[in-house]
Amino acid sequence: MAYHDVPNKTIFSSHIQYLKSHYNIISIETLRESLLNDDVKLPNYSLLITFDDGYRNVLENGLPVLINNKISSCIFIITRYIDTTVNFWWKDVEVNGKVRGESSKEIRQTINALKKMTNKERIAILNKIPSTKRKQITSEELLYMKRNKMYIGSHTHNHPMLNNCSDDEIENELEVSKSLFDQWKIEGFEVFAYPNGDRTEKTDDILLKNHIKLAFLFDHRINATNISSMGISRIRTNAGMPLSELKVKASGLHSLISNLTLIRYGSI
């Protein structure tokens, strides 16, 4: 399951209670062992909880619930933002759009357009908009999260779309990010989530060359029995959604319907 932020502790707690009683919630270590060793099988109904981007409310609202329920999870961090008050680049776009009176739809369109540009074009546009602030997670807090069964994985240094980056840009993202993991003495860099889920043929080679061993997609699919370590599927979820919606998503039914719909309309 792929979460992002955790805006509401009570709703998230209801998700965890449900998932805990209906699935076997596993850790990254268990998944890795089963992927690297043919003899180790995952239990039926295995489920891994992940969080992308490193929102601070995962630490404030999510982690206490996970600790109370003795549950392991994984958070994928964007190293550039750790120990800063720099806002995520898409949140900069959102805040500035709101100031200009743009609708949520217009803001979403701007962000989607930025995701489709080359990395250089995206950076050039972002450099022109005023930066906004956000209290981000600190490296000290990452160590606390790690001690409490939250695996710290990597999500690049700047959250570019890898399919719009040159090979050198991808290498640089990984190298800078890894050096910060090393500096903070956090092991975990080798487990990676593609920003926006954008994996291409060339990214596998570059990632493998740069110490990545497991890589997660954002494809809203349930994994088949033979999971590929560089393309692990995830179901998209949202910590603010009612429990009734979560039940449908966790079951894989929503994934099945939405992917069938995509095939019907020829989008994939």
Considering the rule CB under 5 A, would residue 53 count as an interface residue with Zn ion? yes
The runs of H, that is alpha helices, within 63-131 are 63-68, 89-99, 104-116, 119-126
Q: Three-state secondary structure along 119-168?
A: HHHHHHHHCCCCCCECCCCCHHHHHHHHHCCEEEEECCCCCCCHHHCCHH
Report whether 78 contacts 53 (CB < 8 A). yes
| Beta strand ranges found along the chain (DSSP E) | 2-3, 24-25, 46-47, 50-53, 73-77, 150-154, 191-193, 214-216
Contact 190, 207 (CB under 8 A): no
Write down the least CB distance from residue 34 to Zn ion, Å: 25
| Binding track, positions 141-170, relative to Zn ion; x by CB under 5 A | ------------------------------
Number of residue whose CB is nearest Zn ion = 52
- Applying CB under 5 A, among 52, 173, 190, 219 the residue interacting with Zn ion is 52
14 vs 86, beta carbon nearer Zn ion? 86
Interface stretch with Zn ion, choices 15-23, 32-40, 86-94, 187-195 (CB under 5 A): 187-195
What is the helix (H) or strand (E) element at residue 19, kind and residue range?
helix 9-22
Q: Which residues contact 190 (CB under 8 A, 6 or more apart)?
A: 154, 211, 212, 213, 214
* Closer by beta carbon to Zn ion, 54 or else 97: 54
Nearest approach in angstroms of CB 160 to Zn ion is 10
CB of 195 to Zn ion, least distance (A): 5
Binding mask 191-210 for Zn ion (x = CB under 5 A): ----x---------------
Residue 5 contacts Zn ion per CB under 5 A = no
| Burial degree of 117 (CB within 10 A; 0-12, 13-18, 19+) | middle
Smallest gap from Cβ 40 to Zn ion, in A, equals 29
- Least Cα distance to 81 among 89, 72, 71 occurs for 89
- The token pair at 186 is 């956090």
Which residue type does 49 have? I
Count, residues near Zn ion per rule CB under 5 A? 3
Q: Is residue 173 part of the contact set for Zn ion (CB under 5 A)?
A: no
Q: From the CB of 45, what's the least distance to Zn ion, in Å?
A: 26
Shortest separation between residue 68's beta carbon and Zn ion, angstroms: 26
* Min separation Cβ 268 and Zn ion, Å: 20
- Which is closer to Zn ion, CB of 28 or CB of 42? 28
Which residues of the shown chain bind Zn ion in the complex (CB under 5 A)?
A: 52-53, 195
